[in-house]
Structure 1
Amino acid sequence: ALLGVLWVQWGWPVALAMLAAMAVGFVTGCVYALLLNRLGMPSFVSTLSGLLAFLGLQLYILGPTGSINLPYDSPLVNFGQLLVMPHWVSHTLAVVPGVLALALGYRKAQRRQAAGLSSRSLGGLLLQAVAITVALELVAYYLNLSRGVPWMFALFVGLVVAMNYALKRTQWGRSMTAVGGNREAARRAGINVRLIYASAFALCATLAATGGLLSAARLATASQQAGTGDVNLNAIAAAVIGGTSLFGGRGSAYSALLGIIVIQSIASGLTLLDLSSSLRYMITGCVLAIAVIVDSLARRSRVSHGRA
């Protein structure tokens, strides 16, 4: 992402700079996968060493100034700070999830009824769709009272929806879950485990580079603080608190979204209460520990009941 910021500052077209930065992330993920698949290096060690190396490279590139500012007339900064949806677009998009939930839920219920299985009632599906629509419309209304809903937020939600569809509705996603649940069983079932690991590393690194670019666009700068502090803790905590299992085989993109909302709600609430950052760290750590304990107990329960 820092390279993308540099290229934008040097006059490269924004789209080309973003693609180049994401390509660097993709290559980095492939290197991590190579270290795991070929050399057997634990993924935690390879990614941690890569993080330290890139932080050092970041300090070297930034030099004595410690930061690189993006031009405020750059399209990247405009996208990150200024571009918001028209009100009618935000309200229209807020209706879409409820309609899709109703349509997909009704289709699933019809298939289950045709197979002689129990299914959700139409009233329950309608209630769920109305609740989702009302909640999203309230969020859109509240944001439109000020500047409006940023297009960056729409991009983020679109990436979450796309990733959740890929993980839940495609053969690749099912293979990913199978490898996470039991690597040896997945290998014996004919899944290319090394390819799945490679795709996971490459995709994660590419999305991380994309997130770095969006962060730089939001702040209009890249500084020595980028990627430091509690970023790693929040990334892990968001996934775990949202319901993604540390033991593998369970989770979704929506889980990470839910975890992010919880983490940021805690941080914002403590900031509004004017409490110190030390309390924020302690409370976030306690929430993370509780989430891991609940996940461990739930996994133990599934194993005891033969559902693991």
Structure 2
Amino acid sequence: MPKSYLHALGAIALWATLASLGTALSHVPPFLLTGLSLAIGGLLSLPSVLRDRAVWRIPPRTLALGVYGLFGFHFLLFLALRHAPPVEANLVNYLWPLLMVVLAPVLLAGVSLRPAHLVAALLGFTGAAIAILGARDGTAGATTETWGFALAAGSAFIWSSYSLWTRRVPAFSTAAIGLFGLVSGMLSLACHAVLEPSASLSTRDWLLLAVCGLGPLGAAFYLWDMALKGGDVRQIGILSYLTPLASTALLLVVTGRPLSWAIALAAALIISAAVLGTRTKSA
């Protein structure tokens, strides 16, 4: 198996733990959680920077895009996991592979949208609707859950647009991902200091934050960047649809929830839509 695919599978395995870690740390203020985790992940690039400082010399536009992607995506995702049932919010968030296909003609030159893309979009959003409706239990809490699902959809849009826009900026070193993480982390910690009450973190909290920062908010980004730069982007994109399946399965185990027909059907529709959209795009 090519190294690029191993890198992609490594990133997918780490990302599958993100929703579960976010749920376990749900008592930590979101700006604090995002800031500490991204800062820890950013430190992973320091060995490369010490060898060659030029790897962090990137245009301001590229840095701004990185902060938009890393900070915006994870902050909205963590908020979504607090305001909606975690499994369903996680499924809605994983519309980002489908959105990459649908938004490609809008954000990238020379890319068209075919009828099959529209079919994929219908499948994906049908899956999201089933996930949302399946989470309802009467009208209690409807407003809170709707807000949570909106946040999950927002995180999906940010990650899909960030992924597409990276094709419109000058090429950058994989080590520059660390700068994205550190700046995003510092920005989030500043927001925590101004907008949130102080929080006391237990030893368990720090351990989980370290795991979060070193794994899904750290090493996964570097692995993913290496995969995209070293292999066929289309095939690696298809591999990425293993992420929502693995993530949802792990979250079900962690939360102790049974696999209902609504969640299973929503997952099947979203994954099928993403695969269909990507295959059509590569044709």
The structure having more radius of gyration, on CA atoms, is 1
- TM-score normalised by length of structure 2: 0.39
- TM-score normalised by length of structure 1: 0.37
